[in-house]
Amino acid sequence: MRYPVVIHKDPESDYGVTVPDLPGCFSAGETLDEALQEAVEAIECHLEGLLLDKEPIPAPNSIELHQSNPDYAGGIWAFVTVDVTKLSGKIRRVNITLPERVLTLMDRYAAEHGESRSGLIAQAAIEFIASRERAAR
């Protein structure tokens, strides 16, 4: 799952990273690379907490949606990728049936984006559920 993040750097401070789709989720690092790596860890911890509390995992929104928020003015935008299939520890094998055409499209997309078929299915399911829950509010 790719989450947009906004990076701020004040003089004489580390890089600060905020995850707009996950209120309260932030990280920092001495270098830009370190800050983005720490952001992945912060997101994983945040999502684990949501899962433990039996809360839904929010789907990421577009950067454009967040850019109008004055809290993020002057920030640099980036994406960080989190493998949601590694969350919550326990993995279960399931058997599903899909049309061959859909499976081919999924495999091609996953390969082009450095993902696995299982990761793609998990991410799609989480994003679908989150979007339905957002629409229901």
Residues 129 and 137: their CA atoms lie apart, in Å, by 13
Q: Is the pLDDT of residue 27 over 80?
A: yes
52-109 tens-digit pLDDT: 888 888 888 899 999 999 999 999 999 998 877 777 666 778 889 999 999 999 999 9
* pLDDT greater than 70 at residue 16: yes
Which domains does the chain possess? 2-136 (3.30.160.250)
Q: Taking the model in full, what pTM does it have?
A: 0.69
- Buried-state track 22-47, b at ≥16 Cβ within 10 A, e below 16: beebbbbbeeeeebbebbbebbbebb
CB 5, CB 62: distance < 8 Å: no
Please provide the average confidence, as pLDDT, over all residues in the chain.
88
Structure tokens at 41: 């860890």
Instruction: Find out whether 48 and 88 touch, Cβ atoms under 8 Å.
Output: yes
Give residue 90's pLDDT: 67
